[in-house]
Amino acid sequence: MRIASVLTSIAVAGFIATGAATAATTAAATTAPATTTTAPVAAPAKKAKTTVMTPEKTAISKQCSALADAQKLHGKAREKFRADCKKNGGKAT
């Protein structure tokens, strides 16, 4: 038990020493040059397109889901049916 705790202490000390040595060499290697340059201007962030569901559209979507459930559609067939149904205002084709 005592040997295990000594070995653990040595390992921890080694990790700490390695981290300090790496940080010292990395900081020296990444210093900025003496000349100053202008940073490139970043493009403005694009807004995410958000769709607001109106109560009208929500009712149509629910109606189409109910019709798809009644026909026991699943997967791609259900997706296609619902898309066509919503285009027709909630009525099956």
For residue 18, give both structure tokens: 């390695």
Which tens digit of pLDDT belongs to each residue from 72-92? Answer: 999 999 999 999 999 998 887
User: What pLDDT score does 29 carry?
Assistant: 54
Rounded to whole angstroms, how far apart are CA atoms 65 and 70? Answer: 9
Q: Is the pLDDT score of 30 beyond 60?
A: no
**Residue 63 · residue 42 · CB < 8 Å:** no
Q: Whole-model pTM?
A: 0.45
Q: Which of 90, 67, 91, 87 is nearest to 77 (CA)?
A: 67
- Cβ neighbours of residue 68 closer than 8 Å, sequence gap 6 or more: 78, 81, 82, 85
